[in-house]
């Protein structure tokens, strides 16, 4: 029982890591006033860039860099449309998602000729699990040993990075000058403008931060979680991250718990596939899979708690003359 629990929690961490990164990316952009339904597309493109670069150069860190680069570029396009030209933020997000689906497969097919996949990556071209010091030594100690060696140790570096990003993002958004301005741009951009600060530049920077985090999330998918890119491998994770962002009410720590909860549901769904449970019998996997979406809908509608986003979210800022 205990061992099962540890294994499920271990899987939870692995599944949650990209969600955490993407949700924090969404936090940056939505706190600054830009709805980001393009998380999915940015992640997918980044996943492709990471796998393609890692497979060509053999260096996973270059892959990560490429992923971040591509994701930031898409963020800049998003910003160019929705900040500079005051286009609809949702429409530009939809465009980026479509672009990612089409372009990754088209380029992948052209470059690697594997029907849109990248070649399978060897261990040296991936982020591999890190064994923390002493993990093997304490593995046999009851209770704590398993906890340390299975749950805490043995993840790849991006998982730890994702966890470290939570306090970091909290600190940036709530304890720095940039963070204050960022939140102000999302709540009341006129006030920011009156103070002589460019709303557009703040929002661009917020989108670039989001791009970096989405890039890491994408790289995680293709070079850490799996070994290579397959078509549409983000499979709705960007939207789950968006749901977690709403679930966490646009605050880093609750967002972390939202991601962990959704990751946990995912991990449980895999474990429960075809398993008979006492009393309820077999639970359809799909019922667990849709829980994140249903919970988010209920939360947004105020049936369980209430999620209210930044006030000026989705509204292009027009400087008054």
Partner 1 sequence: MNDSKTPAWVNVILLPLVNIFFAFAFSAIIFVAVDVNPLEAAAVMIKGSLGYQEGVGYTLYYATNFIFTGLAVAVAFSAGLFNIGGEGQAYLGGLGVGLACLGLDHALPFWALLPITMVASMAFGALWALIPAYLQAYRGSHIVITTIMFNFIASALMVYLMVNVLKLDGQMAPVSRVFEQSAIMPMFHEIAAWFGLSFSESPMNLSFFIALACCVLVWILLWRTRWGYAIRAMGSSPTAAEYGGINHKKLVIIVMLISGALSGMLGLNEVQGYGQQLKLDFVAGYGFTGIAVCLIGRNHPVGIILASLLFGILYQGGAELAFDFPNIDREMIQVVQALVVLFSGALALMLVKPTERLFVFWDRKKKSLGKAEAEA
Q: Which residues bind partner 1 (CB under 8 A)?
A: 35, 37, 77, 80-82, 85-88, 90-92, 94-99, 101-103, 105-107, 109-110, 116, 231, 236, 239, 242-243, 246, 284, 286-287, 289-290, 293-294, 296-297, 300-303, 309
Least Å distance between CB 203 and partner 1?
Answer: 15
Structure token digits, residue 180 = 């204050």
Nearer to partner 1, 144 or 308 (CB): 308
Nearer to partner 1, 19 or 243 (CB): 243
Least Å distance between CB 87 and partner 1?
Answer: 4
Structure token digits, residue 78 = 């998003």
Asked if 48 and 118 touch (Cβ cutoff 8 Å), the reply is: yes
Nearer to partner 1, 149 or 296 (CB): 296
Beta bridge partners, 155, equal: 130
**At 232, phi and psi to the nearest 5?**
55, 40
Asked if 74 and 93 touch (Cβ cutoff 8 Å), the reply is: no
d(CA 256, CA 50): 24
**At 276, phi and psi to the nearest 5?**
-90, 130
Nearer to partner 1, 73 or 231 (CB): 231
Nearer to partner 1, 6 or 56 (CB): 56
d(CA 243, CA 159): 20
Least Å distance between CB 77 and partner 1?
Answer: 8
Q: Which of 257, 266, 162 is nearest to 217 (CA)?
A: 162
Residue with the two structure tokens 């939809």: 94
Give the CB-side neighbour count of residue 253, counting CA atoms within 13 A: 4
Least Å distance between CB 220 and partner 1?
Answer: 21
Least Å distance between CB 243 and partner 1?
Answer: 7
Residue with the two structure tokens 């600060």: 197
Least Å distance between CB 196 and partner 1?
Answer: 25
Nearer to partner 1, 234 or 296 (CB): 296
Helix, strand, coil in percent for the chain, rounding step 5: 70, 0, 30
d(CA 216, CA 214): 5
Nearer to partner 1, 96 or 216 (CB): 96
Least Å distance between CB 307 and partner 1?
Answer: 8
């Amino acid at each position: 029982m205990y061992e099962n629990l540890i294994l499920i929690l271990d899987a939870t961490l692995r599944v949650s890591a990209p969600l955490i990164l993407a949700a924090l990316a969404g936090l940056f952009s939505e706190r600054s006033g830009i709805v980001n339904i393009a998380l999915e597309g940015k992640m997918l493109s980044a996943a492709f860039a990471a796998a393609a670069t890692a497979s060509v150069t053999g260096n996973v860190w270059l892959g990560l860099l490429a992923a971040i680069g591509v994701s930031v570029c898409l963020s800049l396009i998003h910003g160019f449309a929705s900040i500079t030209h005051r286009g609809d933020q949702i429409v530009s997000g939809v465009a980026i998602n479509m672009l990612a689906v089409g372009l990754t497969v088209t380029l992948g097919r052209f470059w690697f000729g594997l029907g849109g996949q990248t070649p399978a990556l060897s261990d040296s071209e991936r982020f591999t699990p890190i064994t923390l010091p002493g993990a093997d030594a304490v593995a046999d100690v009851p209770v704590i040993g398993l906890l340390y060696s299975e749950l805490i140790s043995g993840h790849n570096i991006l998982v730890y990075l994702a966890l470290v990003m939570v306090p970091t993002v909290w600190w940036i958004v709530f304890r720095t000058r940039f963070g204050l301005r960022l939140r102000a741009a999302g709540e009341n951009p006129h006030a920011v403008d009156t103070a002589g600060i460019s709303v557009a530049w703040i929002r661009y920077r917020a989108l670039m931060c989001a791009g970096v985090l989405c890039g890491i999330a994408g790289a995680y998918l293709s070079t850490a979680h799996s070994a290579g890119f397959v078509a549409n491998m983000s499979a709705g994770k960007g939207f789950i991250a968006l749901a977690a962002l709403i679930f966490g009410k646009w605050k880093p720590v609750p967002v972390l718990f939202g991601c962990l909860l959704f990751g946990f549901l995912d991990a449980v769904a895999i474990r429960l596939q075809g398993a008979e449970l006492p009393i309820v019998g077999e639970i359809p996997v799909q019922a667990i899979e849709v829980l994140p979406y249903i919970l988010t809908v209920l939360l947004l509608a105020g049936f369980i708690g209430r999620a209210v986003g930044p006030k000026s979210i989705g509204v292009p800022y027009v400087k008054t003359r």
